Amino acid sequence: MKSLKIISLLALAILTNFSYSSTPESSGQTTQEITPVALHGQLAIENGSLVNSSGKKVQLKGMSLFWSQWQPQFYNRETVENLVEGWNIQVVRAAMAIEHNGYLEHPEREKKKVKEVIEAAIDLGIYVIVDWHDHHAEDHLPQAKQFFSEIAEEYGHYPNLIYETYNEPLEVSWSKVLKPYHEQIIASIRKHDPDNIIVLGTPTWSQRVDLAAEDPVEGNNLAYTLHFYAGTHRQELRNIAESAIAKGLPLFVTEFGTTDANGDGPVYEQETAEWMDFMKRHKLSWANWSVADKDESSAAFIPGTTPAAISEKDNMSTSGRLIWSHLRQ
């Protein structure tokens, strides 16, 4: 189990004086000189921050796939490869649907999609968030335990894995409902994977990180989910996040949008820029919602875009072009 992580540490030692970058070629594509996992190796949480294997703070940037049952065409290597080469992502989020004709009804089908994304991320040297994309996960505890145990056993020896145990809880108690749920999922993961990062969903659509800061879960390499949509969540939510950070709570923005919270409406460029500044200042890693060609503003692509064409600017939505520019910086 530890051998691959040791290899990553050795690679990091060799590459310490280099940086992960992309160089424009005449074709307009990019060539990655060093992969994110080769550069950063085994991630950890130290003193409230995400750090790499040398203890340096890290801010990962990337994209989240859409609900797996509704946009299955993007759950493959071609998508991940083009996001790496054309978008410069360091992390991809596989948002495995649980309800609404998802994993609960079709476990093998949905799990297969996630595994394709995991294996592509490992091959391409980026990090991958395995997301239990649910709003009622406390009602599906046995299924979640089984799924995460299986994924940890099969892939937990790779430093690429990041587990997200609960996408967006609703307005439920942190201490009485969510914390006990997370503790059981963590135990299922840690039986097979002792050290990869686990990100824990927080109350009210993963916004009330301040409540988790009052009663954090015990354990190593745990982070807490912060979600926002720039048109709906502004300084008030940043203040909540600031208060949690001040108490030492490590945050990970596993999902955010440039639009209103319903995923549609205008694209709020100025408000998105304010959030980008906030995340940069606090070294908060992020994944943008979403890799989809759905006819809504938060989708990165216009309807009909295929995985092969996601790096063509003509196929990017207004939101897609905005996020693409941030990733390419």
CB 233 within 8 A of CB 207: yes
The rounded distance, in Å, linking the Cα atoms of 100 and 84 is 30
Copy the structure tokens of residue 150.
């299986």
Question: From residue 16, how far is each of 19, 54, 58, 85, 151 by CA, in Å?
Answer: 8, 9, 14, 22, 30
- Residue 30, H or E segment: strand 30-32
Could you say which of 168, 218, 271, 312 is catalytic?
168
Could you say which of 255, 269, 274, 312 is catalytic?
255
In the chain, helix, strand, coil percent, each to 5?
Answer: 40, 20, 40
CA nearest 92: which of 58, 128, 117? 128
The rounded distance, in Å, linking the Cα atoms of 150 and 144 is 10
Residues 6+ apart with CB under 8 A from 113: 68, 72, 75, 94, 96
269 catalytic residue (yes or no)? no
255 catalytic residue (yes or no)? yes
The rounded distance, in Å, linking the Cα atoms of 142 and 6 is 33
Q: Which residues are catalytic?
A: 168, 255
